Amino acid sequence: MERMNRPDNILVYDEMDLKLGIKSSLPHVKSTLALAILLWECSDHPSELIYSTQNGDETVMTEQLEQWIIDYLADICDEEQISPDDLIAGFNQNQLFKSQMEALMVAFELIWKLAKVSFVDTTKAASAERTGGVRFPKKLMYSINIDIIHSVIRGNENAYCRVLLAWTGFNVPTDPECEKTLIYLLTALSEGAVFKLTDGNRDVIFNQNSIYRKLLETADAVDVNGDKEAKGPLRILKSMLSEGMNPYLQYSNGKVTVATPNSEKLEDYQKRVDTLLRLYATKVIGLDDLEADTEGISLDDLEESRISSGTNILLYGVPGSGKSWTIEHEYCRAESHVERLVFHPDYTYSDFVGQILPDVDEEGLVTYKFTPGPFTTILRDAYRNPTQEYILIIEEINRGNAPAIFGEVFQLLDRAVEPKREQDVVYPTGTSEYGITNRYMATVIYGDGSHKVRIPSNLSVIGTMNTSDQNVFTLDTAFQRRWNMRLIENTFENVRSSLADAVILDTDVTWKMFCTTINKIVVGNKAKMASAEDKRLGVYFVHENDLKYDENANSTDNNLRGEYNALLRAERDGDLTPEQKTRLYEIREALKRIRKFPEKVIKYLWDDAFKFNPQDLFDTTRFDNLEDIIRHFVFSYGRSRFDIFKQTVRDTFFPS
């Protein structure tokens, strides 16, 4: 029987981030909207329009678009004596060119749903303009809402273009009725927008319909300021209301009231808005059963648009050398989707990939179904979002039995080094070279249990490994060869000065000096210590907060331990005065801070790095156990804290 050409199942698109917390603001929203509409009208109604080009740190209108807009508005400009140079100069000052992209996204995507906004360079994050004054070329991908606006404009194109030109800041006479019509139309298009304000300790998520209802219920002004700084769409709501872009509302100093000319019409309008929002909330029955994330989307389409950023990287080095810092700053971008795991001896394949677990339904019947683990989940998300970058970070990868945890998916770590064609599908570089059979994973990822499972090319797997770890699992050669290995050098070259030059408590010794000195001794112990280099202190082994000194540890007779013990005895005997109670609290808090360094660093040196030869670093003639060492360090002052070390070590810290 001949197969009929029929539509595919409904597509389910990625959910949009409402960006309710973005601080970017967009002044002159009316002017910005007006120019976006004019640019579409003058450029023969495209679905996508690159409208700006680089000019130093700024952007300006493209040359082609300049000519189009000049030609399109020529009659009006001749009548109003606006020169082409003045026209373009005025447009180039518009917020369409001056504002950060995130602010434009809030307006065009979330408020009016008029267009998607993106950089021409699609590798840039949406936050690329958040810091600094640099602006980058952008494009608008228009929605059908621009067609709705056009259907109104075409009825009297000259009159409506005059209104839009006036909105952009040019002094031209306009028809008030045309301006009113545009405002009514833009208001209707904005009714689905969502805003957030803070009310005391709670967040209120609302739309304009919420304002209408509150005004109709109470007849009192509605406060849209909230108790904290306005962010995201709320900023634009305040701007649009202050510019008179909602004919039913008037705004002043954060307070909204009913606009007098339309006070009698608001109740009926609010009911129509309410009906619209209810219709927007329509749910397609049976959509979940269709696995609509992938139904109607062919594999060819996904792989053709998939980015090729995926790789396997294993960062290794001594503890605190900066492996996690390197991942965060060199491999993860602002728009990357990142999941982080930590392997440990009890971590299993079931934890990582997934397992079959009992499930009790509403009627109490027990069934068993596959519950995906984090690896399967991120595979699914990366597969269904081919243009987005996903990163799975596995910390301490050798503290678990990695080959056993990966199981058969270990085979997926082999990545294709060039595009790979299989059954008329071309997989991009970075996709798994070979697919595996796992019907449980395949059902979750593809909605088809017979599908071969692969790591998509937009998913990277990054692991970290401390080379000094003992009693952990080794990574065999077959496992390691599937990774790009990278040694993270243990050097102070790129460490922030606030850490490198921080003084350890009150000792006059900086962290850089201490770490460098100790590491030289560690490396010099190769004959007595297996893998001596792996026992070094990492440059990020401590944080600045671990080194800060609390002045409350100062004692009038330089005998903190004596003062502390006396206060403890008084506390046990119930004889503490209010002043002594306060002083005891101060000392306890000071000791908590002072103990951070010895309990983290000195303990590591005694228990691990110099476990079998403590005499090579410590003065074991005076201190033969860790308890004595910690006690002396904590209750001493200044340089005497380092009396725990051999004289040769102290001489390095304090040369004569």
Name which of 5-14, 72-81, 123-132, 195-204 the model is least confident about. Answer: 5-14
Give Cα separations from 450 to 393, 437, 588, 619 (angstroms): 28, 7, 63, 67
Contact indicator for 492, 539 with CB cutoff of 8 Å: yes
Contact indicator for 457, 428 with CB cutoff of 8 Å: yes
Helix (H) or strand (E) segment spanning residue 651: helix 647-653
pLDDT at 636 (0 to 100): 92
Q: Which residues pair with 411 in a beta bridge?
A: none
Q: Pick the more confident residue, 362 or 521.
A: 521
How far apart (Å, rounded) are the C-alpha atoms in residues 381 and 385?
Answer: 6
Contact indicator for 536, 519 with CB cutoff of 8 Å: yes
DSSP line for 448-502: -TTSPB---TTEEEEEEEETT--S-----HHHHTTSEEEE----STTS-HHHHT-
Q: 173, exposed or middle or buried, with CB in 10 Å at 0-12, 13-18, 19+? A: exposed
| pLDDT tens column, 105-153 | 989 998 999 999 999 998 888 788 877 679 999 999 999 999 999 999 9
| pLDDT tens column, 246-283 | 999 999 988 999 998 888 899 999 999 999 988 877 65
Contact indicator for 277, 207 with CB cutoff of 8 Å: yes
Q: How confident is the model at residue 526 (pLDDT cuts 50, 70, 90)?
A: low
Q: Is the pTM of this model over 0.75?
A: no
Reply yes or no on whether the pLDDT at 65 is more than 90: yes
Most confident of 155-164, 225-234, 453-462, 470-479: 155-164
Contact indicator for 115, 108 with CB cutoff of 8 Å: yes
Name which of 205-219, 359-373, 593-607, 637-651 the model is least confident about. Answer: 359-373
The region that residue 136 occupies, defined by phi over 0 for left and psi between -120 and 50 for alpha, beta otherwise, is beta
Pairing of strands 202-206, 195-199: antiparallel
Helix (H) or strand (E) segment spanning residue 187: helix 176-189
Q: Where would I find the beta strands (DSSP E) of 122-187? A: 138-142
| pLDDT tens column, 400-415 | 888 889 888 888 988 9
Tell me the mean pLDDT in the region 346-363.
82
How far apart (Å, rounded) are the C-alpha atoms in residues 306 and 385?
Answer: 8
pLDDT at 528 (0 to 100): 55
Reply yes or no on whether the pLDDT at 83 is more than 90: yes
Contacts of 654 (CB under 8 A, 6+ apart): 508, 509, 639, 642
pLDDT at 241 (0 to 100): 93
pLDDT at 283 (0 to 100): 56
How far apart (Å, rounded) are the C-alpha atoms in residues 55 and 97?
Answer: 11
Contacts of 481 (CB under 8 A, 6+ apart): none
Domains of the chain, each with CATH number or no CATH:
24-172 (no CATH), 190-280 (no CATH), 299-487 (3.40.50.300), 497-653 (no CATH)
pLDDT at 292 (0 to 100): 38
How far apart (Å, rounded) are the C-alpha atoms in residues 288 and 284?
Answer: 9
Give Cα separations from 599 to 605, 627, 628 (angstroms): 10, 10, 12
How far apart (Å, rounded) are the C-alpha atoms in residues 109 and 103?
Answer: 10
Q: Which residues pair with 355 in a beta bridge?
A: 371
pLDDT at 14 (0 to 100): 58
Most confident of 87-91, 386-390, 543-547: 87-91
What does DSSP assign to residue 18?
Answer: -
pLDDT at 524 (0 to 100): 79
The CA-based dihedral angle spanning residues 402, 408, 410, 416, taken in that order and rounded to the nearest 10 degrees: -170
* HEC letters along 401-446: CHHHHHHHHHHHHCECCCCEEECCEEECCCCECCCECCHHHHHHHH
Q: Pick the more confident residue, 172 or 487.
A: 172
Long-range contacts of 64-68 (CB under 8 A, 24+ apart): 65/39, 68/42, 68/43
Share of the chain above pLDDT 70, in %: 91
| pLDDT tens column, 458-495 | 999 998 888 765 444 567 777 888 888 888 888 888 88
